[in-house]
Amino acid sequence: MIVVATEDFEVYHGVVNELRERGVVFTTIEPGDDLPEGTSVVVVGSDERAFDGVETVHAEPAAPRQAVETALSILRGGEGRTVIGVDPGDRPGIVVRSGPVVVAAFQVPLADATEVIREEVRDGVDPLVRIGDGARLQGATIVNALEDVRVELVDETGTTPSLGTGARGMGDVLAAVNISQMEGEAIDVREIEPTEGELTTIKRRSRERSSENREIDAELARRVATGELTVEEALEEHREE
């Protein structure tokens, strides 16, 4: 069992809220009280003393999630590495595992995906990102934006499950779960030369998003494909030309 024992108001509320969101069994005590029977891990403030004879996690006020994931890792015998699985696309599915347990899931626009991943990496324990090799332009955009993060490229063949009644919309997130569990090839940069078909798709998308029915040219479409520009930024450049 996890015990929270701190006089730090910010740490207390941050850690307790994280534990409640995960449905974890825990209890709280005053720092000077005796530990209850069955205590496995104690969470205290960053400047508070450790408890003798039991694993103690020191929580920073601004990082309660990291403290909770460390505590959960200890409960599971140390198998708590943070692995982030990504099923790339226009709205990537993203999942975060701490050891074998999925602790967070997202599906966000491509433009927001990198920041979501960076936030999870920042709070993670020995973090690793695994990204599927499909949707190659979108995937390359994410890979190339994660310059200082360990990334593996995973063969995502067969990772999207068959969805039953009521599960529509969950496919990308469930695929991300499967991707997070598969070993891939370490990668720093993914160089992609867009095909004519991909450039045509981007140009059509720019026309659909333009209130003036404006279509960007091939060069701007190539810059969008390689992640240098968003469609909106390319449209703005096109207006200024």
Angstrom distance (rounded) from CA 23 to CA 113 = 26
pLDDT of residue 79: 58
For 15, phi then psi, to 5°, come to -70, -45
Residue 125: CB atoms within 10 Å: 16
Residue 9: CB atoms within 10 Å: 10
Output b/e per residue, 187-225; b: 16+ Cβ within 10 A: beebebebeeebbeebbebbeeebeeeebbeeebbbbbb
Angstrom distance (rounded) from CA 219 to CA 197 = 14
pLDDT of residue 241: 73
Show the tokens assigned to 201: 């798709």
pLDDT of residue 23: 78
pLDDT of residue 184: 94
**pLDDT digits (tens), the chain, 241 positions:** 899 999 999 999 999 999 998 778 899 999 889 999 889 899 999 999 999 889 999 999 999 988 988 888 787 665 567 899 999 998 999 999 887 788 889 999 998 999 999 988 887 777 899 999 988 889 998 999 998 899 999 999 989 888 777 777 789 999 999 999 999 999 998 877 888 988 999 999 899 988 888 899 999 988 888 777 888 888 988 888 7
